[in-house]
Structure 1
Amino acid sequence: MSESKINNSSNYSLMTLILFWSGLVVMSSMYLTIPLISLFSTLFNVSSNVAVWTSSIFAIFFAIGCLFYGPLSDRYGRKKVMVIGLCLLTIVTPIVGLFNNIYWIITLRAVQGAIAATFSPIALIYITEMFPDNRKVHTTGFLVTGFLMAGIVGQVISSLINQYFSWNYTFYIMGLVYLITTFMIITFLPKDNLPRFKRSVLEAVNKMGSLFKVKSLVLCYLVDIMFLMSLMCMYTALGYYLSGPNIGLNSQQILYVRALGIIGILFALTSGLLVNKFDVFRVLIAGLIIAAVSLIMLGIVSNVVVIIILSVIFVAGIAISVSPLISIISQIGGKECGSALSLHTVILFIGAGLGPIFAISLLNTGIESLPYLVMGFILILGVILSLFIKKSFDESVLKVKSL
């Protein structure tokens, strides 16, 4: 695609859709094993504390990978690193389905996570470089929608495939999806022919470390970790609760409940409009309050219909909050925006890895409401932290410029 063609509005729209799709399918891999935790526990005769690592290990290695691929793309190009990563993901993903040993599955899920990290942080930086200012928030909103929707779609895909075939086919089919996605990116996303940084990966990682000297960024990252941690915690706990003796939903019914969460995710598309009408801090704080209150209510109510409605409202609150926080981080990051966004992705998905572990640990106390209540109060802490971020915002932007 030539530079002249890129400036066409329809081409920007196509690029946005490709990025949305790619973010959706790549990040779906993180969530594929959440509905399979109890199955793996039974099938391989291990405790749920072991089976949950098929999900958490992906997120942890994904987070580690994000530290390195952003700097690599600084040197070699955004598109090139994304394409190489997707090629490797296409190869590794079907291999996971070939093994019937829980420890091999966990190991290969770690490899999957490390490879999948080639897309998400780089896609965010790609948008800041390749899109005009009037389309950046809009496109970021679509990409974030894909990331968040993956939390639902990944679970629905694996539940559906396992219901009609077996868990192994989840990985075979996703391998084919990644092959198609690779060709889409090669064909429709323009190459980023921009000046490249010559600093080494280690220098770039050290530069990331200096960002922790900026108080507002540290507070942003503390809020960051809460987003997917609360989402993963809620869905892990909800799956156990809905299938338990008190509710007794079957796998098909739980699948429908997970799918309804997509309604909440779609609110991420409104975040750009809300930010334009109000401001990033008001939208961030409002979204966190909605998520916190609905999560606490989930721990209190027992009516299944109300529980499902509250789960959708909770997801909507999280969806509204993510884009404003990304905008705040990129503004504070300034000339180090790429490094700041890479760290954002690292910390966001560390939270995703901790969420299922957190939920299982709290459920093991025997108190089913505990994951919702604890995570709800943590999100209230996120509201308080957001107020402090707002207070020190201007000072932090100046401090990053001096780094």
Structure 2
Amino acid sequence: MIKLTALFFVIMFVIGTDTFLISPLIPTLQNLFHIPTEYSGWMVGSYALGYAIFALIAGPLSDGWDRKKVMLSGMVCFSVSTMLCGFATGFWSMFFFRFLAGVSAAFTAPQVWASIPALFPTSKIAKVSGIVMAGLAASQAFGIPIGSLLASAHWYYPFFIIGACALLVAVFIYYALPEMKPNQGQKTKTPIFSRYIPLLNSRMARRAFLAHFLFQCGFFAAFSFIGKWVTDRFHLSIDQAGYVMFFLGLGNIVGSFGGAYVIKKLNRFNTLVVGFLVSIVCFIVLPHLPSVAAFESVYFFIFVNMGIAFPLILRMLNSLNPTIRGTISSLANSIMYAATTLGSWIAGLIYATFNGFSAVGMFTAICFAGSLLSFIFSGILTSQSENKEGVCVINA
């Protein structure tokens, strides 16, 4: 069990590093490829777009296939497409290769979350999920700064290194992960998208996924332009911006490991409400802070909150219907990356229009407020607070 936990941690670390790598590289690639600020967000959005579209297909398909084969194939393709990014010669070639990397990740990462309940006993699921989520947080704390340092030597080094690491991870998937073939009842020839019908018919599910979308849209709108903002505001170099990301990633790690304790003390409802309200205030004041130290301190606190909130949200969504966890996990990831696409695009527009981060921070605060209200009115917080196992089944 330990080796599987470690494997899932590494998978999320590698994919997370690649996902967030573009953020500190935006100023460098913008100058290299002569990209206007209002379009630079698409270097993040192209990856997210590929993920968002194909995760909708990958989820239902994976519920009827061997998850090991899906994860292995996805990781190999992810490795190749990431290395191809290092050969990009302009905006459109980078856009295309990042899109392919997102498509590959859409067939890989959701399998991790869907595999955890299948491979681990119920008593271990929350703990393993927190450790795996810490892999994503660690990618922000360690992967992105390392990538930034490599990029300071040459911009394409991080893509080659991450691609090579992904290929090595694929080897471990092949040898360490057991087969996870679907049950006979899951091997149906029903249309792919029919698996989404129980979710579409549930008011709780619709509102919960809307809340998830607003949360991710706001968060990634702000996150995508951290590197550019600290570079513009405080005149930091690319490696210095990477150190800022390292500090923020530590906050996410703290939240991921400490989330279970906080939720146990406050319960799900209070944890989410307090965390969102505090984050809203922080995003409003963030652009007006006078120094890098003040900025890092406030954003560190935001990332602690996000490290607690994100695994909690994913657990709530996955518990809506345990029989279609692959579909739910892929839909949640698809929504996250669709929100990333929209959020990074909007952030680029308003950053260029209003010449700074203030409007981006306000946009994020509004998204968080809408997300919190949608979670509350969905009933998912109250329903699962009253259920000891955290399972809120909607009928298929």
Q: Normalising to structure 1: TM-score of the pair?
A: 0.88
Counterpart code for 1:372? G
CA RMSD in angstroms, aligned pairs only: 2.4
1:296 and 1:377 in contact (8 A); partners too = no
Q: Does 1:113 align with 2:102?
A: yes
Q: 1:78 Cα deviation (Å)? A: 0.9
User: How many residues get paired?
Assistant: 388
Q: Does 1:287 align with 2:281?
A: no
Give me the whole-angstrom Cα distance separating, in 2, the residues matched to 1:289 and 1:181: 39
- List aligned pairs for 1:139-150, cutoff 5 A: 139-150=128-139
Higher relative contact order (CA 8 A, sep 6+): 2
- List aligned pairs for 1:57-96, cutoff 5 A: 57-96=46-85
1:216 and 1:393 in contact (8 A); partners too = no
1:285 and 1:386 in contact (8 A); partners too = no
Give me the whole-angstrom Cα distance separating, in 2, the residues matched to 1:345 and 1:301: 33
* Structure 2, gaps ≥5 residues long: 385-390
2:208 and 2:380 in contact (8 A); partners too = no
Give me the whole-angstrom Cα distance separating, in 2, the residues matched to 1:371 and 1:152: 23
Which residue in the other structure is 1:236 paired with?
A: 224
Give me the whole-angstrom Cα distance separating, in 2, the residues matched to 1:272 and 1:399: 22
CA gap of 1:87–1:228, structure 2 versus 1, over 3 A, is same
Q: 1:193 Cα deviation (Å)? A: 4.6
Give me the whole-angstrom Cα distance separating, in 1, the residues matched to 2:87 and 2:12: 25
SS in 1 for 2:8: helix
Q: Does 1:226 align with 2:220?
A: no
Q: 1:269 Cα deviation (Å)? A: 1.8
Task: Tell me which of 147, 171, 174 is aligned to 2:162.
Answer: 174
1:57 and 1:110 in contact (8 A); partners too = yes
Task: Tell me which of 354, 363, 381 is aligned to 2:342.
Answer: 354
Q: 1:194 Cα deviation (Å)? A: 4.8
Which residue in the other structure is 2:251 paired with?
A: 264
Q: Does 1:275 align with 2:275?
A: no
Counterpart code for 1:248? H
Deviations 1:287-340 (A, max 9, x none): 322322221221343333211111111111111111221222122224333322
Q: Does 1:315 align with 2:303?
A: yes
2:62 and 2:326 in contact (8 A); partners too = no
Give me the whole-angstrom Cα distance separating, in 2, the residues matched to 1:98 and 1:367: 32
Task: Tell me which of 282, 297, 312 is aligned to 2:285.
Answer: 297
Which residue in the other structure is 2:202 paired with?
A: 214
Q: 1:83 Cα deviation (Å)? A: 0.5
1:229 and 1:355 in contact (8 A); partners too = yes
1:285 and 1:321 in contact (8 A); partners too = no
CA gap of 1:212–1:157, structure 2 versus 1, over 3 A, is farther
CA gap of 1:160–1:72, structure 2 versus 1, over 3 A, is same
2:75 and 2:170 in contact (8 A); partners too = yes
2:13 and 2:135 in contact (8 A); partners too = yes
Q: 1:152 Cα deviation (Å)? A: 5.1
Give me the whole-angstrom Cα distance separating, in 2, the residues matched to 1:236 and 1:329: 25
Give me the whole-angstrom Cα distance separating, in 2, the residues matched to 1:162 and 1:360: 22
Task: Tell me which of 105, 108, 116 is aligned to 1:127.
Answer: 116
Identity of aligned residues (%): 21
CA gap of 1:78–1:399, structure 2 versus 1, over 3 A, is closer
* Structure 1, gaps ≥5 residues long: 1-11
CA gap of 1:335–1:263, structure 2 versus 1, over 3 A, is same
Which residue in the other structure is 1:326 paired with?
A: 314
